[in-house]
Structure 1
Amino acid sequence: MIKHSATLAINEKIAARRQQGEQVVHLGFGEAGLPVLPSVTEALRRSAAENAYGPVVGTLPAREAAAGYFTRRGLPTDAGQVMFAPGSKALLYGVLASVPGDLVLPAPSWVTYAAQAALTGKRVVSVPIPAHAGGVPDPERLEPALEQARREGADPRILVLTLPDNPTGTSAGADLVKQVCEIADRHDLVVLSDEIYRDLVHDGADHLSPASLLPERTVVTSGLSKSMALGGWRIGFTRLPDGELGERLAENLIGVASEIWSSLAMPMQDAAAYVLQEPPEVVSHVAASRRLHATVSRAVFAAFREAGAACREPDAAFYLYPDLTHLRPVLEPRGIATGQDFADLLLDRHGVAVLAGGHFGDELTAYRFRVATSLLYGQTEQERWEALRSEDPVSLPWIAAALAQLRSALAALG
Structure 2
Amino acid sequence: MVDDAVISGLELALEASPDNHALRLHLASLLLQAHRAADALTHATTVLAAQPAQLEALRLAAWSAEEVGDAARAAGYQQLHNALTGVQAPSGRPAQPSVSADAVDMPRTAPLPADDGLEPPEASDLLEAVLPRVTFADVAGMQEVKLRLERALLAPMRNPELTRLYGKSLRGGLLMYGPPGCGKTFVARAVAGELDARFLAVGLSEVLDMYIGQSERNLHAIFEEARRRAPCVLFLDEIDALGRRRSQMRHSGANVVNQLLGELDGATTSNDGVFVLAATNSPWDVDPALRRPGRLDRTVLVIPPDQEARRALLDLNLRHRPHAGVDTAVLATQTEGYSGADLAHVVDSAAELALEDSIRSGTARPIGPKDLTRVLRDVKPSTGPWFETARNVAQFANEGGTYDELVAYMRARRML
TM-score range, shorter chain: under 0.3
Higher relative contact order, structure no. (Cα contacts within 8 Å, ≥ 6 residues apart): 1
| TM-score normalised according to structure 1 size | 0.25
| TM-score normalised according to structure 2 size | 0.24
Bigger Rg, which one: 2
Greater per-residue helix proportion:
2
Greater per-residue strand proportion:
1
